[in-house]
Amino acid sequence: MHRLTMSLVPRPGLHRRAPRRFHALLLALLLPSCIQRSEGAAAPAAAGGDPATVAGTSTKGASTAPPATLPEGASIAKKYQEFFSVGVAVTQKNLTTPEVRDIITRHFNRLTAENAWKWGELSPAKDRYDWGEADAIAEFAREHKMPMTGHALVWHRQAPGWVFARLANGDPQAIEAVKTRLKAHIDTIIPRYADVVDNWDVVNEAISDNSEKTYRDATEGSKFYGIFGSEEYVYLAFLWAQQAYEARAAGSSEGKLYYNDYNVVLKIDRIISMLNAVREKGARVDGIGMQFHVRLDWPGVELLDETMQKIIAAGYKIKVSELDVNLYNDYPDGKFKAAPAVDFTPELAQTQAKRYAELFALFRKHAEHITSVTLWGVSDDHTWLDHEPVGGRNNHPLLFDDQRRPKAAAAAILDF
């Protein structure tokens, strides 16, 4: 990605239960140091803007594009079964809504829990786990013989507050306390879902948005880095995840341990350096998750291809972990400026379809090294991009529309 030309988009994760007023406050607190960007958004030196303009009160940007007609009996997962599995991020509500459930079971053959498996969702209080939604998603996956991606063991944005409460950065006792809590969490969740999970996002988004640094530190919201005073927690997370599998059965960790991040085209050299260091210390790392929150126009296929080739050359597998196509650029000159809502016209639908087609052509090119491709949502009526960074503006980033009908993009990726 080109630092001076990409748009900023916050990462998904907190939108599901948060009211829009909260998002305005959240973004005001995060800017500029740790706002999250889409894959393909540029990372300007500073971002700004009036947070009052971030959250909206009404939904804008209607769809006027007609649904696409797919071939009789078409299934995206079946079309791609010789290349890689095709997954989707879900909530429990998705699985109990008949129309959405039908899309999932017809077109996808793997699942990721959008939020339900994140540590902060699972364990909001010390010594307490709320397994309801997490278990329901896992049971659906078992019932339909769908492997799952575990998302995510370590992520700074949705780690429970109690893990760090009353702990001082750099204090040896604080470091030991966080080590104990992190290892206990890994030892709890990996065995619970080991039968259905074929890979984990062990660490999520540990690399800095600032190209002058390697690691996301306390100034960018990482309490893990703040407590440890270093990236040691990354190595320990991979080591303990490997050990949790190996405690069940020798060799069972193989192929399962991934690092996941956005803006990988900007961060790839730092990511590879970090993961090589983890391997050199003796922990397993199998692959890199490229989130692929891309824009219609950026990053170019050539840059994405170059990044994938770097990953392959370094000896890591690739998974496309969080795919969607953002319609808007809200940081055209490096400062926040909310792009006006646009209707999703037939012409825009075709532009998006062309973008999806070129991305899937790239994925097929590297299919030998890609383990899975996962859409970050089922249909346009439930997407984080309707909320971040601008609330009340429809984004239409997925393969199925607000009425859960196939879009031109869905037809395009089937046409090869």
d(CA 208, CA 34): 8
Write the burial class of residue 279 (CB in 10 Å: 0-12 exposed, 13-18 middle, 19+ buried): middle
Nearest Cα residue to 50 out of 369, 330, 322, 345: 330
Calculate the alpha carbon distances from 359 to 67, 118, 323, 366 in Å: 21, 28, 10, 11
**What beta strand segments (E) does 205-347 contain?**
257-261, 287-290, 293-295, 317-326
Contact 141, 85 (CB under 8 A): no
- Cβ neighbour number for residue 286 with a 10 Å cutoff: 22
Annotation marks residue 246 as catalytic: no
Question: Residue 131 corresponds to which amino acid?
Answer: W
The pair of structure tokens assigned to 27 is 């973004």
- Crossing angle between the packed helical segments 264-280 and 232-246, to the nearest 10 degrees: 60
Q: Is 322 a catalytic residue?
A: yes
DSSP secondary structure letter of residue 289: E
Instruction: Find, among 337, 324, 346, the residue nearest to 395 by Cα.
Output: 324
Question: Is residue 334 within 8 Å of 17, Cβ to Cβ?
Answer: no
Question: What φ, ψ does residue 177 adopt, rounded to 5°?
Answer: -65, -45
Residue indicated by tokens 């053959």: 109
319 within 8 A of 258, measured Cβ to Cβ: yes
The residue from 39, 133, 322, 388 that is catalytic is: 322
Active-site hit among 39, 114, 133, 205: 205
SS3 for 86?
Answer: strand
Residues with active-site annotation:
205, 322
